Amino acid sequence: MVRAAREIEHRRVLPGGEKGCAMHMLLPRTLPEALELKAARPEAVPIAGGTDLMVDLNFGRRRPSLMMDVSRLAELRRWRRDDGTVALGSGVTYTQIVAGLSDCRPLVEASRTVGSPQIRNRGTVGGNLGTASPAGDALPVLAAYDAEVTLVAAGGRRRTMPWHQFMTGPKKTAIRQEELILETGWRFVRGTGSFSKVGTRNAMVIAVASLCLILDEDRRAIRVALGSVGPTVLRAPDAERFASEVLARVGLWDDSATALPPKVLNDFGERVAAAAVPIDDVRGTAAYRRHACAVMARRALAWALHDRTRGTGQPRSGSC
């Protein structure tokens, strides 16, 4: 296999030279070819939409000796749904999500906040995962879905792990050098949800704080995930338990017209904010971020409950 990979490499590696910096590029056309190359040359840095890596290259912050273009691997640019699950290929772009996954509302809402049309046409879910910035817009949604991440190596060897085992720290993941990110998948959730993001504009913004809330009608549970307010994406388990239990106690899961006791939204917001471990940085202070979490949480829960009362009073179906 290594020998085969070297032969492929020989065909595909093209030498650098300009600017006095040795850099090489691999251009595999299929996923098996890419994985063989990665096994033979594990140091190869994958580049998909380039929205992170190209900035580092343009500004001279990174000079990887070897890169591998994964943007032409058709195998990664697909998604599928079967048996109550969704599997999203790592090369799926945010434009594809907005156009094709309209029933995954929180994911579509998050995708629409990514950069601009130009960025959404290039940026991929796999890129968000691989970069593992706590500000990655898709990541709170994947966390709220309890998504898993599947990695793949030569010979089709796969490893699947929950999102929180994959993202181990700020810009740190559990990926091994010989692996590529294949896809991320989750169980289809019946119930409404939303994505919120705080920033200075409606576009081209790196989140100051972000939040995804999902109502899981089947498990009668509320799930909340936070972005940009900790070293990785965070869940708010205490707030989730609190809200799920209050909804059960007042009978809201069965009758969406039931009124929520007045203090609950505020309490929920405070509990979500307490799960954040933000820092002061150029985009905002820790105190502001905590406050933003409370506001977003309060609003997201109110929106979700409002969604359930619309129309027939039945929860919107088909949300994943």
Position of tokens 């968000």? 128
Question: How far is Cα of residue 14 from the mean position of the Cα atoms in its chain?
Answer: 33
Output the six-digit token pair for 15: 């030498």
Q: How far is the CB of 169 from other proteins (least distance, A)?
A: 24
With CA atoms as reference, report the closest residue to 298 among 251, 221, 257, 243: 243
Give the interface segment with other proteins, choosing from 59-67, 156-164, 180-188, 309-317 (CB under 8 A): 59-67
Tokens 């996923």 label which residue?
A: 31
User: Which x/- pattern over 76-105 shows residues binding other proteins (rule: CB under 8 A)?
Assistant: -------------------x----------
Query: Which tokens sit at 151?
Result: 């990695």
Contact region for other proteins (CB under 8 A) — 69-77, 131-139, 271-279, 297-305?
69-77
Q: Which of 144, 274, 110 is nearest to 221 (CA)?
A: 144
Residue 221 structure tokens:
């549970």
Q: Where does this chain touch other proteins (CB under 8 A) — which range of 52-60, 147-155, 256-264, 282-290?
A: 52-60
How far apart CA 94 and CA 107 sit, in angstroms, is: 9
45 is a site residue for other proteins (CB under 8 A): no
| Number of shown-chain residues binding other proteins (CB under 8 A) | 37
Residues in 112-131 that interact with other proteins by CB under 8 A: 115-119, 121-122
Selected binder of other proteins within 59, 61, 83, 263 (CB under 8 A): 59
Q: Which stretch binds other proteins (CB under 8 A): 66-74, 152-160, 222-230, 265-273?
A: 66-74
Q: Should residue 2 be labelled a site residue for other proteins when binding is judged by CB under 8 A?
A: no
- The torsion angles phi and psi of 221, rounded to 5 degrees, stand at -135, 150
| 231 near other proteins, judged by CB under 8 A | no
CA distances from 144 to 140, 241, 294, 320 (A): 6, 14, 17, 11
Q: Is 51 in the site for other proteins (CB under 8 A)?
A: yes
Phi/psi region, residue 147 (left: phi>0; alpha: psi -120 to 50; beta: rest), is: beta
- Specify whether the CB–CB gap between 278 and 230 falls below 8 A: yes
Q: Which is nearer to other proteins, 23 or 250 (CB)?
A: 23
* Cβ nearer to other proteins, comparing 115 with 278: 115
As a whole number of angstroms, the distance between CA 202 and CA 235 comes to: 24
Q: Give 75 or 146: the residue with its C-beta nearer to other proteins.
A: 75
Interacting residues with other proteins between 287 and 316 (CB under 8 A): none
91 neighbors 98 (Cβ within 8 angstroms): no
Least distance (Å) between residue 23 CB and other proteins: 4
Contact residues: other proteins, CB under 8 A: 14-19, 21, 23-25, 27, 47, 49-51, 54-55, 57-59, 63, 67, 69, 71-72, 95, 115-119, 121-122, 201-204
